Amino acid sequence: MIEYFLLILIAFSLPIPIWLIIFHIIALKYSNKLKKITYFSLGILWIISAVGVYKFREIILSTKFNTNLYLQALGFVFLIIAIIIDMKVVKVLGYLKLTCVAELRNQNKGVLVTEGIYRYARHPRYVEYLIIDLAIALLSGYYFFLYYAGYIFIGFYVASLIEEKELIKRFGKEYLDYMNKVPRFFII
């Protein structure tokens, strides 16, 4: 049963870094209409991802390492940290901004968010997803989630680079000053 939950989690999160990269490239160059089409394309990517994950489920779940109580405790701590980050992000942004609605509306310049958890990291949500994958790896013992954490980190790192170009375009010097003061992912 837990394996199916893990497969659903993979299928849901797999296309998100790639989609974010495409979405932010389009947001930099094209109209709101094209951004809306791109926004709804995520559903198609989820379907493709679900089919692929189901097809390769045996490979994904084929290798495990011996997890122990200490690794599972560390995984639980990681999970708690990820939940705290999520709660703090939602407190600052609310639920609508977590769905890229702000980028789609783009009717006005918007407000650069630099308070709350955003005082410590420019992209705390991306760190949250990485920590969740590491927690799942430690709790479940599946090697796949260690590799997947690497994919998530690289994907969100690239997405953050492109997203920051968009933010510089929207906010100019204000965002450049913010970049100089606050690290991308808490420590880097």
pLDDT tens digits for range 52-75? 999 999 999 889 999 899 999 999
Token pair listed for 134 = 């590491």
pLDDT exceeds cutoff 90 at 137? yes
pLDDT exceeds cutoff 70 at 109? no
**Residue whose token pair is 């290798």:** 63
User: What's the mean per-residue pLDDT of the chain?
Assistant: 85
Note whether 42 and 19 are within 8 A (CB).
Answer: yes
DSSP 98: G
- The domain locations on the chain are 2-181
**pTM, full prediction:** 0.82
Type of residue found at 163: E
Question: Domain 2-181 is in which class?
Answer: mainly alpha
